[in-house]
Amino acid sequence: MKVVDFLKHKREILAQHPFELKDWLSPAIRDYWREFQQKAHLHPLLGRVLDLQADQQLLQRQAASQAQAVNSQTALAEKRSVELDGEAAILYAELQDRIGEETHVGEWLQVSQSLIDQFAAVTGDHQWIHTNPERAAAESPFKTTIAHGFLTLALLPQLTGSVDEATPEFPSARMVVNFGLEQVRFPYPIKVDSNIRARTKLSRVTPIKGGLELLKEIKIEIEGIRRPGCVIESLTRIYF
C-alpha cells in the first residue's frame, strides 16, 4: 500500500487520535507532512501535531547544544583553577602532546564459550543467545553464540593492559581509578571463538584536584571484521 493511500485509509482514526501518527511516520516523511496532508485530505490537527514534534526536536537540540557549551566552559574553568606541580605537571605536559594519538594496541584475546559461560555464571545472565550453542545455531541470526556486551566491557582492563602491575601505564601515579564511561556502543556482535583486541586513543586530558582526568576512546577490534565490536569513551582519573 502506498503511503498516501495508507494515510487516506487511516484518516478517520488519525483525526480522532492524531498523536499516534508519530509511531507510523519516519523522520524523513515528517518533513513533508503538508504534502501528504494535501494529497490525502487529512485532518488539519495532524499538521499541528507534527509542528509540535518539530518544535520539541528543535528545543531538544538547542538544550543539548547549551549543555555541551556549559560542560565545556565548566571543564575549562576547572582546568584554569587547578594548579599542577611535581609528577602531575610532568605527566600533563607529556600527555598534551599525545592527544589524538593511538596510545595502546592490545594483544589478541580469544572469546571462548568457556569465558562466556563463566561470565554468565557470575552475572546470572544465561540468555540463550550467549550460552546455548545448539539453539543459537538453529534460531539466532548470528548462527552461533555471542559474547555479552557487559563481558566486553569487563574485559577492558585486560584488553587495555591497565592492570599489569609489572609494567603500569602510569608508574609515577599513586592511584589510577576508573571514573566511568561517557558513551558505549556495540556496532557488531562478538561471536564465540572470535579474537578481539583493544585500540586506545587519547582524546582529552584535564587537570583535577590531586591529579589528572583522561578521556580515552577505546575500540574493540574483531580479527577479520571491519566493524568494531564495541566503541567506548572511558574516563580515568590519575592521582599522585
Q: Which of 169, 158, 180, 173 is closest to 235 using CA atoms?
A: 180
pLDDT of residue 200: 97
How many CA atoms within 13 Å lie on the side-chain side of 84?
A: 20
pLDDT of residue 32: 46
DSSP tag of 20:
G
pLDDT of residue 10: 57
pLDDT of residue 187: 97
pLDDT of residue 103: 95
Give me the residues of the chain with pLDDT under 70, please.
1-55, 69-80
CA 31 to chain centre: 28
Helix or strand (DSSP H, E) at 68: helix 45-81
Which domains does the chain possess?
3-61 (no CATH), 83-239 (3.10.129.10)
pLDDT of residue 82: 85
